Chain A
Amino acid sequence: MIAIPYLTALTTYFSYGLLFAFGQFRDFFRKIFDWCSSNNLQGYAPICLGLEDFYIRRLYLRIQDCFGRPISSAPDAWFDVVERHSNDNNKTLKRTSKVSRCLNLGSYNYLGFAAADEYCTPRVIDTLKKYSPSTCSTRVDGGTTALHNELEECVASFVRKPAALVFGMGYVTNSAILPVLMGKGSLIISDSLNHNSIVNGARGSGATIRVFQHNMPAHLEEVLREQIAEGQPRTHRPWKKIMVIVEGIYSMEGELCKLPEVIAICKKYKAYTYLDEAHSIGAVGKSGRGVCELLGVDTADIDIMMGTFTKSFGSCGGYIAGSKELIEYLKYTCPAHLYATSISPPAAQQIISSIKVLLGEDGSSRGAQKLAKIRENSNYFRSELQKMGFEVLGDNDSPVMPIMLYNPAKIPAFSRECLRQNIAVVTVAFPATPLLLARARICISASHSREDLTHALQVISNVGDLVGIKYFPAEPTKQQQDGKTVKFE
């Protein structure tokens, strides 16, 4: 729940209104010009309809230099951002050969495995030489190497489940598993802020989808009771099965899932649970085993555990962990297992090696140090930001911390000004967030040193003053804001 001050809500609406009006005005003239010049449609409907890409043409393009900035090095604590310039008012951006060395507060490099690592990289290169970059085959054909089996065993024991199945892409993991497990007559109850891959998977399954308010177990219970009592729409037959889908850490809010409460409710109402640990696995918990470890939830209570390797492990791909029977079943039904190229062997080796480092099986204490560092860094950075008066979302221990910006003009202002001072931050706007709730998102890494962070805080504070995003006075009094706020979910 984000509380946005009335005045800010008003100015934000006004800004978008203005942008919209100008956009429409320009579209109007464009239509006249298009009409004057020869009409080349030849009976085809345009491939992108006017209103569909209005947002891109008239709003996004103005600030597109804040997104998709290319880099020319590993996404480590510091990286090289390639400078771009535009000759046509930001419509197209050209890469230049100039780079600027920036502090990286944007990549999901939670544990610092993104760059070359003394333990992982030599092993990855050995694997590359042994297995080549790809198997050119699916897992059920010729795409299962000894390495793939080792990886699955390693992941299963890491997340403390009997078995696991690994795919080459996190997005596909979600969107190809849900259609296998759920179908017509089943119900998926999904958190309102779940990731797009879950939404697409749920849609693809053909099951009925209900949404509960973000991270509100009480509302989940309400929805569950109502749905079990009502049964399927129109026929009122009882549901075949119900699955509740939550994420460990919500990537745009930085919040931890209220997992113990959710699990208790699911147990009470016999619903199956699906936990997406895309951002939390490796990043939180004493030994990096994710939110279950952090919040003290027994993994046996979760039916399906999903996660990705793109973030903490600095690789690619995703996994599903669950009972032996579940994984057996997925092996002959899941399209991502049957039709997709198996995960690239060097990427698989990176996952195995980084898990070994985390567990201290490499013979050093680097893993434990990394885990301690990310926690310490995150909590330090978050508390400092809050002290400065920024509106920071999310929970302690979470390495993701969004800073609210609200006004559309503040998105490029904050991003460009930080970049000018060599701090690379991510700004997020519609469609990844609701229109009004634009934000900047900081991702902390274990590879950041204390000096890096103090320097970043200094810059962000200055830019924050300049842009005017310190919405709370230096020490926030909690209830003070309540009287004059509009609530947004």
Chain B
Amino acid sequence: MMASTVLNFVNTTLDWVTHALDAPSASAIVFGFNIGGHLFIEVLLLVVILFLLSQKSYKPPKRPLTNKEIDELCDEWVPQPLIPSIDKDLQYEPPVLESAAGPHTIVNGKEVVNFASANYLGLIGHQKLIDSCSSALEKYGVGSCGPRGFYGTIDVHLDCEARIAKFLGTPDSILYSYGLSTMFSAIPAFSKKGDIIVADEGVHWGIQNGLYLSRSTVVYFKHNDMDSLQETLENITSKYKHTKNLRRYIVVEALYQNSGQIAPLDDIIKLKEKYRFRILLDESNSFGVLGTSGRGLTEHYGIPVEKLDLITAAMGHALATEGGFCTGSARVIDHQRLSSSGYVFSASLPPYLASAAITAIDVLEENPSLLTKLKNNVAVLRKGLSEIQGFTIASHPESPIVYLRLKKSQGSLNDDLRLLENIAERVLKEDSVFVVTSRRSTLDKCRLPVGIRLFVSAGHSESDIHKASESLKRVAALVL
């Protein structure tokens, strides 16, 4: 009822308006033209529109903060504390060594068997290394007092670079002053914004940081999973089909320190060649360990070293010195000498450590038996631990890092770690066997399960190894 009334009313009004405008009184004849009411209204509207357009649009007045207001804001602002409150559970004081970190060391005045040092070839305490270091110390002093560009290049650095290149059969190599900085300086030197890096999700923090600093597009694939790698490469290739001059890299570790797994280089090479990627390989834990003469993963798989574009390694493991190196073609190495931040902007490696590295490679070349001893030790330990309760051996059969992973997780990473630490502590206290857990920094993005790591050395005797496996088995049976 109501609606029809309103409709009627509107219709009558409209009729009336039309009528009024058509009425002779609403129109006039100007110069013989009949100007209707419509035209009049339209002109009126146009005038109104023009008038409105000519007006300034409304802007809220600009009122920048006055000094007083800024003062108030500054007074009000309360920063968070520099560090969050410390979680007591995570605090941990490592055992303090009172002698060299060789296969046997002294902790708390007691001799213990050391499975915590990556002294794979047992070169800690080797007389030849100590002799070469002490003569270098007398000749060159301790530090080099300058970056490589500014008189920090000492002849032993050049000799060491040549020695490494000769040992690996590469054209050239470059020394870094710290193992950790090698990868995170080398990656950003070659991969920039827009380039693509496919990396294993289990890579260590040094690589993760390098990937982040390069600002490249980083895609992770499942840890050591070649199907996942292929799938990732396939996706990327189809996605970036039309982009030219895009550098593509695969970043893998030869022997993962986070799991003890060995990268299947033969498969990776096939995929790399199929999809045209370059490989950056980190040999920190495999250099001087894998292959018949310790030349690393390429020798292990019988792959010519030229197939890889860049190999990096830390010298703080098998070579029992410090620093790191990167090796590859002359062009790749020369490029780093001016573009790699950790090389250009850092003081060079102390010369005695470079001379230790040269000696360590000499020792390795002269004594291939070290490698057989190491392999044998790894086999003995794995056999000894094969029936350990609550653990699985997650590492590769040839890996000198024997990685024990919990069969049943406690639920969270921290709970697992606490349990493992408890075991490690008891093993050290009760049986004088020094083993360590895989502790993680809060910055580490690696999500692989934690575990107990045993770094096997060629310097361990069979009885040391038996002692370790028996002790671990005993404590694991008690705790788990």
Contact = CB atoms under 8 A, between A and B. Distances in A.
Contacts of B133: 128, 133, 346
Contact of B316 (A73, A115, A134): A134
Interface string A426-465: 1000011000000001000000000000000000000000
Contacts of A424: 151
A149 B74 contact: no
A197 B346 CA distance: 8
Nearest to A330: B83
A441 B150 CA distance: 10
B205 to A, nearest CB: 5
A168 B314 CA distance: 13
A73 B139 contact: yes
B79 A240 contact: yes
A74 B140 contact: yes
Interface stretch (A337-345, A376-384, A472-480): A337-345
B145 interface: yes
A413 interface: no
Contacts of A169: 177-178, 180-181, 346
A146 interface: yes
A264 interface: no
Interface stretch (A10-18, A253-261, A309-317, A404-412): A309-317
A303 B82 contact: yes
Interface string B136-155: 01111111111011111111
Given A310-B143, A316-B347, A326 B83 contact: yes
B65 to A, nearest CB: 6
Contacts of A145: 96-99, 101
Contacts of B320: 132-134, 136
B213 interface: yes
Interface in B81-109: 81-84, 86, 90-92, 94-102, 105
A270 interface: yes
Interface stretch (B334-342, B361-369, B461-469): B334-342
Nearest to B114: A142
Contact of B134 (A73, A128, A242, A314): A128
A53 B77 contact: no
A113 B86 contact: no
B116 A137 contact: yes
B49 interface: no
Interface in A239-255: 239-242
Contacts, number: 366
A239 to B, nearest CB: 7
B327 to A, nearest CB: 14
B96 A144 contact: yes
A316 B149 contact: no
Contacts of A347: 142-143, 350
Task: Give the bracket for the number of chain B residues in contact with chain A.
Answer: 35 or more
Given A204-B212, A329-B86, A315 B70 contact: no
A117 B206 CA distance: 35
B73 interface: yes
Interface in A329-358: 329, 331-336, 338-341, 344-347, 350
A130 interface: yes
Contact of B73 (A229, A311, A328): A229
A6 interface: no
A370 to B, nearest CB: 15
A350 B350 CA distance: 12
Interface stretch (A37-45, A211-219, A360-368): A37-45
Contacts of A134: 101, 124, 316, 320-322, 353, 356
A191 to B, nearest CB: 16
Interface stretch (A21-29, A103-111, A288-296): A103-111
A156 to B, nearest CB: 16
Contacts of B332: 47-48
Contacts of A180: 441-443
Contacts of B117: 135-137, 141-143
Nearest to A303: B82
Contact of B141 (A129, A171, A224, A314): A314
A157 interface: no
Contact of A344 (B155, B205, B247, B353): B353
A331 to B, nearest CB: 8
Contact of B436 (A141, A431, A432): A141
A333 B91 CA distance: 10
Interface in B255-302: 276, 278
A333 B79 contact: no
B162 to A, nearest CB: 10
B419 interface: no
Given A133-B133, A204-B212, A326-B82, A332 B91 contact: yes
Contacts of B179: 340-341
Given A44-B278, A134-B320, A71 B154 contact: yes
Contact of B94 (A121, A141, A315): A141
Contacts of A53: 335, 339
A228 B153 contact: no
A390 interface: no
Interface in A258-311: 268-272, 303-304, 308-311
Contacts of B479: none
Contacts of B321: 133-134, 344
A242 B79 contact: yes
Interface in A158-200: 168-172, 175-176, 179-181, 195-197, 200
Interface string B303-345: 0000001000010110011100000000110110111011011
B130 interface: yes
Nearest to A269: B74
A343 to B, nearest CB: 8
Given A115-B141, A130-B100, A329-B86, A47 B155 contact: no
27 contacts: A43-B276, A48-B332, A48-B335, A53-B335, A56-B338, A82-B155, A113-B141, A128-B133, A130-B99, A132-B124, A132-B125, A133-B129, A136-B316, A141-B436, A142-B117, A145-B96, A146-B97, A228-B74, A229-B73, A310-B145, A332-B92, A338-B205, A339-B180, A340-B178, A346-B142, A350-B142, A426-B150
Given A146-B97, A338-B439, 6 more contacts: A42-B276, A75-B144, A107-B145, A129-B134, A139-B94, A268-B74
Interface of A: 42-49, 52-53, 56, 60, 67-76, 79, 81-82, 95, 104, 106-109, 113-117, 120-121, 124-125, 128-137, 139-146, 149, 168-172, 175-176, 179-181, 195-197, 200, 203-204, 224-225, 228-229, 238-242, 268-272, 303-304, 308-311, 313-316, 325-326, 328-329, 331-336, 338-341, 344-347, 350, 424, 426, 431-432, 441
10 nearest CB pairs, A to B: A142-B116, A341-B316, A169-B178, A310-B347, A171-B346, A340-B180, A74-B141, A107-B145, A350-B142, A196-B345
Interface of B: 65, 69-70, 73-74, 77-84, 86, 90-92, 94-102, 105, 114, 116-119, 124-125, 129-130, 133-134, 137-146, 148-155, 157-158, 177-181, 184, 190, 192, 204-206, 209, 212-213, 244-248, 276, 278, 309, 314, 316-317, 320-322, 331-332, 334-335, 337-339, 341-342, 344-347, 349-350, 352-353, 356, 434, 436, 439-444, 455
